[in-house]
Structure formats: C-alpha cells, structure tokens
C-alpha cells in the first residue's frame, strides 16, 4: 500500500488512478495522517446468456449425438 501526500496526489492523480485500477491501494495523507484511500471499483460480472440462447448456441448443423450413438450401437 502506497502512501501519498495530498499535494502529490493532486499532481499525479491520473497515474494514481491507473495504479489503483491495476490493483494497488493508494492512501492519501494530509500532514502525515491517512485521510482517503484510492482503490479499484469491483468489476461487475458478465451477464450469462439466457437458457434459450445457450441451447440455441449448442445446436449445430451436424448429426445429433443420439443418432451417432444409435448407428454405432446398431453397427451401421
């Protein structure tokens, strides 16, 4: 965790935000006392597709697996 004075933080804010986004925590101090902390926002998880969309994506143009298994079982 890096400690930065408020004057330095004003001058280097874009760099400090980039570092926080990369996972570093930065503590801003005033007269040597911690007064604020810059951290990255939690990333929101990606939304999963609906079940119908998922099933549609699984469908292919080939032979269904059940048909392949029947052919294999029956020796065709």
pLDDT over 90 percentage in the chain: 53
pLDDT of residue 4: 95
pLDDT of residue 75: 84
Rounded distance, CA 25 to CA 39, Å?
5
pLDDT band for 13, please (50, 70, 90 cuts).
Answer: very high
Go through the domains of the chain in sequence order and give each one's CATH number: 2-38 (3.40.1620.10)
pLDDT of residue 67: 87
Helices (H), the chain: 6-11, 13-21, 51-58, 65-74
pLDDT, tens only, 26-63: 999 999 999 999 999 988 888 888 888 887 877 767 77
- pTM score, whole prediction: 0.56
């Amino acid at each position: 965790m890096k400690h930065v004075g408020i004057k330095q933080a004003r001058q280097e804010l874009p760099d400090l935000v980039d570092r926080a986004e990369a996972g570093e925590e930065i503590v801003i101090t005033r007269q040597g006392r911690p007064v604020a902390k810059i951290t990255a926002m939690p990333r929101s998880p990606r939304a999963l597709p609906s079940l119908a969309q998922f099933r549609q994506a699984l469908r292919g143009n080939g032979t269904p697996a059940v048909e392949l298994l029947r052919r294999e079982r029956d020796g065709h």
